[in-house]
Structure formats: C-alpha cells, structure tokens
Amino acid sequence: MTVGPALPDVGLIAVVPDSWGPEWQSRHHLVSRLAAYFQTVWCDPPSGWRETTRDTPWFRIFETIRGPTGAAFDVYTPPAWAPQLHRPSWLAQVTWTWRVQQAVRRLRRRGAKRIVLAMWRPQMAPALHASAHDLSLYLIDDEYTFSDEPGPTPPAEAELAAAVDQIVVHSLGLLEEKGRFNPHTVRIPLGVDFARFSAPAPASDPFGPIPRPRLVYVGRIKRNLDWPALELVARQRPDWQVVLCGTESPHSELPAILKRVSSLANFHFLPGRPSTDVPAVLQYADVCLLPYAFTRYNDCIYPLKLHEYLASGRPVVGSAIRSLLEFDGVIHLARTPQEWPAAIEAALSEEDNSASAVERRRRVAQQHDWDVLVRRLADVISERLGMSIPTASAS
C-alpha cells in the first residue's frame, strides 16, 4: 500500500537546474525526501531554444510526467515548444508561466490546496510571477558568482533574495553573504545517505594495483583545489599515493597544473565514478581528502562529500575553510601546505583508525543523514504555512 505525504493538502514545486536522473546532487536528495511530507513536483529545466530547434527528438514536443519514487513525487518535463528564453522578456515570462502553471495544475489534481514554490538559482526569479503560491523559497547551495575574490552580490540575486518568503542556505559563509537580504533565512547543512555510505566494503578493490596508503579525493578536479598542498605531500612522501577520482573541469589554468603533478609517480588520476559507486570507492581509501584553496568561493561552500567521507568511517584531512572548522577534532585540518603531511600522518595513525575513532566519525555523519535534515526543512516550510507535521510522521 502506498503511503501518502504527511501534509497532502500542501504541494511543492521544485524549480531546479538539473534534470531528474541517476546522478544525484543535493537537490535530488532534498526534493525526493520532501515527498514524504508534501505533494511534490520536480520541474526539469527546459532546453534553450537553440537546443530545442537543433537537438530535440519529435516526442519532446509533448510535455511528460513521470513519478520515480511514489505517488507523491512527479517529474515534469516541459514541452519543446516552451523552451528557456531570455528575450524578449514578455515571451520569456509567458513560457515560465506555462511551465509553472502546469506543475500547479498537477498538484491541484492531487488535492493540494496550498502551493510552495522552491527555486535554486537567481535566473529562476520569473517563476515568482508565474502563478499564485502561498510560500516561496530560495535555496542557495553555492556562491553563484563563482568568484575567488570578495565582491558584491549581483543585483538580480539580491532582489530575488529580498522578494522570497524564505531563504535556505547550507554554509556559514552563505548565511553571512545572503542572509542580510532577508530576515527569514535559515541554515541547513548538506547531508549523506548514511546507510549507503556506511555499508561494508565490497570484495572488489576499485583502486586495483595502486599501493597503500591511498590519500583519496573524490569529486570535480578543478582550479580551486589546494594544488600546492597536494603537490607538497606527493613530493615529500613518495611512499604515499595521492589519488584524485573525478571529472576535469574546463578551467584554463588546470592543464598546466595537471601536467606538472602528473609527472610524479605517486600522483594518480582516475575517471569520475557514478554516484552509486562512490561508497565502495571510499571504503578502500586510507585517508579522504578535502583539499580546498582559501578563496572567497570556498569560504561559502559546504562540501557534499564531507559527511559521505565521515559515514565511510575513513579518517579525513581537509583545509581549514569555514565550513570545516566546526568539525575540528573529528577531521584533521591544515591551514598551510606545510601542515598537510603532519595532518595526514596523524590520520594514518593507529589511534585514528581505531574502532572508537571510526564510530565517532560515523556518529557525526548519522546526525547529518538526509532524512534528519529534510525533516528540519519540512518543519521550516510547515511552520511558515502556519501548519505542523503530524507526530506520526517524525522520523
């Protein structure tokens, strides 16, 4: 028997930058779990008009609805004839209005009487004017200027932040940068599917012949990693293996960096793995790395992989960026490249690999399980609507 959401009278529209698929971002975890509390529609982003006219198969001239996780969760894919437009502004608003109203109609048909509009990007501001709603959310999971240097928030984002009813941020840096625009701002950190990431290691070693100890980073290979620290570690300790698993970002500075470190015999690059494989990869690491440069952008991030690392039980070494400072003592922090070898040495120690140390890390991760964090978000939404989630739905 299918169990409906705790508050079936409430419908939530998630206006997201990603299409629904097997590679999950934080938004996938949040929205799919919110379906336990509200009727929910995930709105796939529309194609741009150039892509629509050039690449769209014939069947995409129709909109589609599919529900991958249950009766309370739908994925809405807009039709090709309602693409993403920017100019003229009036026509762009027409297509926005069509897409949002289709999601509203879907929720109304399922019995939703109150509508929550959730947006993840400044460019989604036209959705605010597309249809009547009872509560609007702006969920900020990044510093969207992507600037390494301090600077003002762009006017369009500041305007959206001030206009919505509720802002949700994940990091202390974002709370400071964006919270000043709206008194209704709350911080809810990113989490982990604890059961998956704490599961025992499979029999097959994904690193093959790479010897131990393996110092492993899993994620995008990008310019704003702390490359001086990684290179110093590899040069000072040739008996340690630095392993980066991920897809290379298209940053112009990156090829020269990668060429230099690739000359080191103990520096390894492995292809990105599907998100479903990451828990197994971590179980075969000896130390998990969070090597971020000290920039304005990194001051605002909350690494999704933090609690995934901790759930694996593996020791963690990271840069002392703002989001990681509150976990000092659970993970090892380095403030300069010169501090990294000693921090890794400590992480490799017998004490840091004891059963009690593994349990301490997993206990922190379990407190950040997605189910726990999504319940906090659901409480924020229901309270802003003047409602409360039935006690039986608490989990």
- CA atoms lying within 13 Å on the CB side of residue 232: 15
Beta strand pairing status for 64-66 and 38-43?
unpaired
Beta strands in 219-329 (DSSP E): 241-245, 267-270, 287-290, 316-319
CB 206 within 8 A of CB 280: yes
Give the rounded distance of the alpha carbon of 370 from its chain centre. Answer: 11
Length of the chain in terms of residues written = 395
Task: Tell me the pLDDT tens digit for each residue of 287-317.
Answer: 999 999 999 999 999 999 999 999 999 999 9
Give dist(CA 96, CA 94) in Å, integer: 5
The percent of residues above 70 in pLDDT, for the chain, comes to 90
Rounded average pLDDT over 15-23: 91
- CA atoms lying within 13 Å on the CB side of residue 263: 7
What global pTM score does this model have?
0.91
Indicate if the pLDDT at residue 23 is higher than 70. yes
Of 71 and 298, the structure prediction assigns the larger pLDDT to 298
CB 40 within 8 A of CB 14: yes
Phi and psi of 299, rounded to 5°? -65, -20
Task: Tell me the pLDDT tens digit for each residue of 87-146.
Answer: 677 777 888 898 999 999 999 999 999 999 999 999 999 999 999 999 999 999 999 888
CB 210 within 8 A of CB 237: no
The rounded mean pLDDT for the chain is: 90
CB 210 within 8 A of CB 246: no
Task: Tell me the pLDDT tens digit for each residue of 185-236.
Answer: 999 999 999 999 999 877 788 899 999 999 999 999 999 999 999 999 999 9
Indicate if the pLDDT at residue 60 is higher than 70. no
Least trusted range by pLDDT, from 78-82, 93-97, 246-250, 301-305: 78-82
Confidence of residue 249 (pLDDT cuts 50, 70, 90): confident
Indicate if the pLDDT at residue 49 is higher than 70. no
Tell me what pLDDT residue 64 has: 54
Output the CA–CA distances (angstroms, integers) from residue 233 to 239, 263, 305, 343, 359, in the order listed: 10, 14, 21, 10, 27
CB 264 within 8 A of CB 234: yes
Most distant pair of Cα atoms in the chain: their distance: 65
Task: Tell me the pLDDT tens digit for each residue of 342-371.
Answer: 999 999 999 999 999 999 999 999 999 999
Give dist(CA 125, CA 96) in Å, integer: 10
Tell me what pLDDT residue 55 has: 52
Residue 317 DSSP label: E
Tell me what pLDDT residue 87 has: 64
Of 110 and 324, the structure prediction assigns the larger pLDDT to 324
Confidence of residue 79 (pLDDT cuts 50, 70, 90): confident
Indicate if the pLDDT at residue 68 is higher than 70. no
- Compute the Cα dihedral for 310, 380, 169, 186 and give only its sign: negative
Give dist(CA 223, CA 313) in Å, integer: 28
Tell me what pLDDT residue 59 has: 47
CB 171 within 8 A of CB 356: no
At what angle are helices 370-384 and 26-34 packed, to 10 degrees? Answer: 60
